[in-house]
Structure 1
């Protein structure tokens, strides 16, 4: 009887034992135990910090194979793989001191893994780097990455450019969902900000295998901030002040995590007056303001990890056209636009033994109103253009149980979108767009060689409604169009040794023509031009080859990447000699094209001056049409040089730094027939900051100056240069971050 009872007790205990991973983190050189090391599993949104004995434990783990990330300032980030079965897993690790920056687990790739296993390098820019840059907007900060630029209309409107491709050729993701905010428009900006994000990941080159249509140039993925560590409730307040625009940006956030559930909420606002150029003139109506709120709730159990998120952004943005009345007013003048967006997302992972099913669903509404000065007083407040869109996204992926050498994924991905008009004028017709893609991917680990390959087929249907009266200006006939494309990717990474890595990738991508290109027929109030679409346009199809290398040592890192990208049926808009209603007519045409170029970066920490960083990057891209002429909107070649010092802690200052940055843009004389050449320029930027201990409270303080010499310059991708308007002049930026949680001392204890 007693024997049977004890057998039952042992079996019961084995069943109820919580699946967990635990261990000790040590310094690899001294073998001392390290406290306050961040231990995080991105796939589960679960994290802890090591305690006073250097120990950690992540409990309530589901079965499966996971990547665990160990990170601490001044040490190499370590990524380990663990397989969770029905019992506790013990994993002790050691971190190596390093003055060279290392990257976190890549979220945007098909397989969430370390940077070294990807066939193309995924650029990562953390929110700390964004804040230290002194940029007025997120898009301005991202343009500091080699190979990434922006098409700008003043400070408040910026569109991403990756290796010479932009507009609907670059896809933006946030909260696991593709952003649909009518990116075909010249003055339609990124539509997202840095509030509530951890970092931005950027994939350069065709990514249609994983993301479908419109990812032929690359993907910009805004990664949400990490949840609070298990068992904690924390918050923070951020504020930035800008001298040039007399602007202010602030946000307040709170987040907490229990054993099973987690939540976060953050709200913010920013406001800017007209920006001032290097000639000390303010650019009329370049003012903008924006309010946003972001929240999420989630849970992790043994069989599921789920997060539901919401993001609301409301913007009022002026459309600058001249240097007129000099004022610091924030009240919008004509023309201007108001944009409101709601983004809902549900990200779920269902764990079924060693297999898993990932399902992401998203719903986004985007309402954009553009206003011009009315001819009659009774029309005041009526939008010339009022464009609405509602988009439902879905992404289902089945991950087969991984073996020691192979991993396989199959999935379905698509979206349904409705667009409509409610303004006085119509630029594009009401329409319904549906897209569906099926994908299969594989990854093979062959000792020093990692291979990834896959194929995908997409279909897109576009149905537009008849708009206007036949034979009259502005008439748009109904269209029913079908597009399809087969795409694939094959690439890998090869570790020659511990210091040298080579990557190669061959991939294709595609983009179906958008509504503006197919069916527009009217005056676009934001640009004052009459645009006529072309219903006979074909898919854009590109094929790109990327080759890159990465060198990593204790005191230096270097990356070199080259690419060659051919595009069939490249779509672009150009002016004609015709006029309609006193507006010049623009039409859409197609021609084959090629883009090629590359980037090189070098980061040196000269020994024994480990506190000194020298970073140099170079980027170039050339874009030509098949007739030998240049493609439009190709950025100028640039060299960015940064000298940064990371000093020792001193009294109440922790991690103090000082940096000086010089951006040298070459002249851009390779221009399309509708563009003008742009001269070169040099900009000097600087900054400093530190964590400051004020009793038991710690704050992060930063101070930066962009365009220190107040240089008057035109960037080649500035749309205002055609009006003789320079880019922004000198800008002092003061930033403050106040954590709302007890200060944790920075110590290590003996093992």
Structure 2
């Protein structure tokens, strides 16, 4: 699993060459290998994508989407997930997807207030028009599950613990924090929060770098640095979210011991169907923290090209609790996206640039006496990604390449010798930068009931630290991995299995302030999974799976040695930490019928050498000292979700999750183990149009149990229940589609403390908040 060398009396540490030109030697060969792999991959795909003499003629898939009475469904989306193509039906419910090679394709259709359908169709010269019939439904369902499997699957056929959060549910809670949005709609997902605008997802009681956040299947390397650094993903851009629980998520590499959160942007509009251009705008306002937001989107397609551009601006002040405002908790964020895609018969390519950035004010323990005295974090994340796909027949080749630059700067006001009001100045406390180059190449093949994926991945990283308070040393990392997954679909049983091997290297420079010597570390390990989905009855399936995985310690856990003013602690790492190893077992039931769907699943996870941060009882520079330590631990828990259409106008949803952790040899839990939580929501849809539009009313009760069984140094919290109300209207104002949603969070203005909030020791959570958003399309 791990290779270490000993030198100069430091067990577990190998002294690297002296700095100079030689210190780049571990990275340069890997950089050349990365460039060679990139060039060969692009050349292979370009060569295979070039039509030869025996090129097969292209065909067109045509059809209509109708309801159960035969009336056309306009505006329904037609999805071909194998090709990442999307089309939309016209006013007559008709659609066409041209330039398809002969073969079998999975086709799905979805539309608001209708039950989605999926079917496998054969495309050829004599393919008759396809008719997809949608039944009316108020359930917010997704037709397919993509994550964790070699090919898209219908939900009941998934042999691993996976779930999909539908676009409609996510949109009603979309904000600047992805973790907060998921916590409101997804069972088993919690948010480790720093105020209402920064959150890190927690799955099954595990968070931080134990939960991998991916963008369209490619993992992001951006948010494991500190408590106040969340995933650089704006929830407004997400079409759906695929969740994979436990260490079974082999496609995302090691580290995902708690699971993976794969955000999937909407495919670009299909350029082959028809030339079109569609702008839209959205405005958002919230009363509690005086938040204002504006979203501008534009997408279009012409000939073989498609494009999308989006910009999101948000600004908010201090949030308010029932006891008054909490100073220095506002933020300002400006995010942008630009994408262009090309679709051919045998190949396709997408190029996307994403910018996520903002200034987030942070509350220090006890709270500042004036707003300008508190610290603030400035975050910027720039990603450039290229996706290439080759579609020659039964084999599909994909290459995904991404460059990511993530920067985190903490500033604080310090007193200077000057008369008021100029007696303070803003200074940089630390300045961290992480640059990552990553590439993932996959080959997928379907043959009857069998689907196989084989892949190779490699990445390079550069960590740079600046500022008067060094947090971690400069370092360079690199890694590579190989994975193979197989899925067998029988008449009643679906079996999935996978195997992955990864190797990682880390080279850290010496730093006189931190006191670490030059250090080189290496880890390697195998991850594996196996799962079974057995159809007990039409619409009811039993799912069970086994998984194992590992995670190497990150740079902070190894080398941190200094004050963290934003977290109000003095943090110490340990360079002798060893990789974590997890083994898990899942058992669950899933059902999906005409009027109901849901799942219930239980898990047991054994975590060897779990790394955790614990208070030592010591003080350094006036701050409590925390150290990274290791212990074996066991986590047990369950997640459940159900929604049912009780009448043509009324839907009931229930979700719950619980987890219990225990360290080896004691009943002491791991830090930040969340208390049980349950949520029940009733949603009413008006049977008749009001003002030429559809009306929605909803009420939800969210209950969180008391956190009494806590780790040493953690503050217990009381139980609380919150009431949330929602209302919506969707229709047309003249020829323009308009949608308005309003939400009243914490309608009773309850005073409570969230156990998963970093502010729980000295501030309440937000009180009553009215949020309104309006969307218009042209």
Do both share a fold (TM > 0.5)?
yes
Which residue in 1 is equivalent to 2:358? 315
SS at match of 2:575: coil
Match of 2:451 among 399, 407, 410: 407
Which residue in 1 is equivalent to 2:306? 262
- Asked if the contact 1:662/1:685 (under 8 Å) is kept, the reply is yes
Residues 260-339 of structure 1: matches in 2 within 5 Å? 260-279=304-323, 281-321=324-364, 333-339=373-379
- Asked if the contact 1:75/1:98 (under 8 Å) is kept, the reply is yes
Question: How much is the aligned-residue C-alpha RMSD, in angstroms?
Answer: 2.3
- Does residue 218 (structure 1) correspond to residue 263 (structure 2)? The answer is no
Which residue in 2 is equivalent to 1:592? 632
- Does residue 342 (structure 1) correspond to residue 342 (structure 2)? The answer is no
Which residue in 2 is equivalent to 1:477? 517
Match of 1:385 among 427, 430, 434: 430
Match of 1:660 among 696, 699, 703: 699
Deviation readout 1:552-592 (Å, 9 max, x if unpaired): 33222232111111100000011223333333322111000
Question: Which range is displaced more, 674-683 or 525-534?
Answer: 525-534
- Cα distance in 1, alignment partners of residues 397 and 176 from structure 2: 40
CA offset at residue 543 of structure 1? 0.8
- Cα distance in 2, alignment partners of residues 480 and 123 from structure 1: 39
Which residue in 1 is equivalent to 2:487? 443
TM-aligned CA distance change 1:416 to 1:85, over 3 Å: farther
SS at match of 2:709: coil
SS at match of 2:281: strand
TM-aligned CA distance change 1:305 to 1:146, over 3 Å: same
Which residue in 1 is equivalent to 2:20? none
Match of 1:160 among 188, 197, 201: 201
CA offset at residue 116 of structure 1? 2.1
- Asked if the contact 1:62/1:301 (under 8 Å) is kept, the reply is no
CA offset at residue 225 of structure 1? 2.4
SS at match of 1:143: helix
TM-aligned CA distance change 1:52 to 1:367, over 3 Å: closer
- Asked if the contact 1:136/1:155 (under 8 Å) is kept, the reply is no
TM-aligned CA distance change 1:228 to 1:649, over 3 Å: farther
- Cα distance in 2, alignment partners of residues 450 and 186 from structure 1: 40
Which residue in 1 is equivalent to 2:34? none
- Asked if the contact 1:529/1:584 (under 8 Å) is kept, the reply is yes
Which residue in 2 is equivalent to 1:198? 239
CA offset at residue 544 of structure 1? 1.0
Which residue in 1 is equivalent to 2:106? 67
Residues 491-510 of structure 1: matches in 2 within 5 Å? 491-510=531-550
- Cα distance in 1, alignment partners of residues 484 and 174 from structure 2: 42
Which residue in 2 is equivalent to 1:744? none
Which residue in 2 is equivalent to 1:717? 756
Question: Which range is displaced more, 410-419 or 525-534?
Answer: 525-534
Question: Which range is displaced more, 36-45 or 216-225?
Answer: 36-45
- Asked if the contact 2:685/2:696 (under 8 Å) is kept, the reply is yes
SS at match of 2:322: coil
- Asked if the contact 1:246/1:272 (under 8 Å) is kept, the reply is yes
Which residue in 2 is equivalent to 1:77? 116
Which residue in 1 is equivalent to 2:24? none
Which residue in 2 is equivalent to 1:354? 394
- Asked if the contact 2:243/2:259 (under 8 Å) is kept, the reply is yes
CA offset at residue 504 of structure 1? 1.3
Residues 23-38 of structure 1: matches in 2 within 5 Å? 23-27=63-67, 29-38=68-77
- Cα distance in 2, alignment partners of residues 136 and 482 from structure 1: 36
- Does residue 557 (structure 1) correspond to residue 597 (structure 2)? The answer is yes
State how many pairs are aligned: 716
- Cα distance in 2, alignment partners of residues 554 and 542 from structure 1: 38
- Does residue 467 (structure 1) correspond to residue 508 (structure 2)? The answer is no
CA offset at residue 189 of structure 1? 2.1
SS at match of 1:226: coil
Match of 2:441 among 396, 409, 413: 396
TM-aligned CA distance change 1:521 to 1:16, over 3 Å: closer
Which residue in 1 is equivalent to 2:7? none
Which residue in 1 is equivalent to 2:730? 691
Q: List, as ranges, runs of 4+ consecutive aligned residues in structure 1 with deviation greater than 6 Å.
A: none
Which residue in 2 is equivalent to 1:4? none
- Cα distance in 2, alignment partners of residues 374 and 605 from structure 1: 58
- Asked if the contact 1:35/1:53 (under 8 Å) is kept, the reply is yes
- Asked if the contact 1:134/1:705 (under 8 Å) is kept, the reply is no
SS at match of 1:296: strand
Which residue in 1 is equivalent to 2:607? 567
- Cα distance in 2, alignment partners of residues 352 and 86 from structure 1: 17
Question: Which range is displaced more, 714-723 or 100-109?
Answer: 100-109
Question: Which range is displaced more, 376-385 or 203-212?
Answer: 376-385
- Asked if the contact 1:271/1:288 (under 8 Å) is kept, the reply is yes
CA offset at residue 710 of structure 1? 0.5
CA offset at residue 730 of structure 1? 0.5
- Cα distance in 2, alignment partners of residues 54 and 131 from structure 1: 25
Residues 517-666 of structure 1: matches in 2 within 5 Å? 517-606=557-646, 609-628=647-666, 629-666=668-705
- Cα distance in 2, alignment partners of residues 34 and 134 from structure 1: 27
CA offset at residue 160 of structure 1? 0.8
- Does residue 246 (structure 1) correspond to residue 290 (structure 2)? The answer is yes
- Cα distance in 2, alignment partners of residues 127 and 23 from structure 1: 24
- Does residue 738 (structure 1) correspond to residue 776 (structure 2)? The answer is yes
- Cα distance in 2, alignment partners of residues 405 and 225 from structure 1: 28
Q: Normalising by structure 2, what TM-score?
A: 0.88
Residues 671-710 of structure 1: matches in 2 within 5 Å? 671-710=710-749
- Asked if the contact 2:580/2:609 (under 8 Å) is kept, the reply is yes
- Cα distance in 2, alignment partners of residues 288 and 320 from structure 1: 12
Deviation readout 1:173-195 (Å, 9 max, x if unpaired): 12443221241311212332123
- Asked if the contact 2:615/2:712 (under 8 Å) is kept, the reply is no
- Does residue 174 (structure 1) correspond to residue 174 (structure 2)? The answer is no
Question: Which range is displaced more, 150-159 or 194-203?
Answer: 194-203
CA offset at residue 139 of structure 1? 2.3
Deviation readout 1:307-342 (Å, 9 max, x if unpaired): 111101121011112575798x7xx64311101110
SS at match of 1:721: coil
Deviation readout 1:506-541 (Å, 9 max, x if unpaired): 111211000011111112232232222111111111
TM-aligned CA distance change 1:15 to 1:522, over 3 Å: closer
Question: Which range is displaced more, 105-114 or 412-421?
Answer: 105-114
- Cα distance in 1, alignment partners of residues 138 and 655 from structure 2: 19
Question: Which range is displaced more, 505-514 or 494-503?
Answer: 494-503
- Cα distance in 2, alignment partners of residues 334 and 154 from structure 1: 14
TM-aligned CA distance change 1:368 to 1:34, over 3 Å: closer
Which residue in 1 is equivalent to 2:78? 39
CA offset at residue 492 of structure 1? 2.1
Deviation readout 1:277-303 (Å, 9 max, x if unpaired): 122x11111111100110100111111
Which residue in 2 is equivalent to 1:372? 412
- Does residue 118 (structure 1) correspond to residue 196 (structure 2)? The answer is no
SS at match of 1:461: strand
SS at match of 2:222: coil
- Cα distance in 2, alignment partners of residues 418 and 337 from structure 1: 21
Residues 10-29 of structure 1: matches in 2 within 5 Å? 18-27=58-67, 29=68
- Cα distance in 2, alignment partners of residues 134 and 685 from structure 1: 16
- Cα distance in 2, alignment partners of residues 288 and 34 from structure 1: 42
- Cα distance in 2, alignment partners of residues 135 and 290 from structure 1: 11
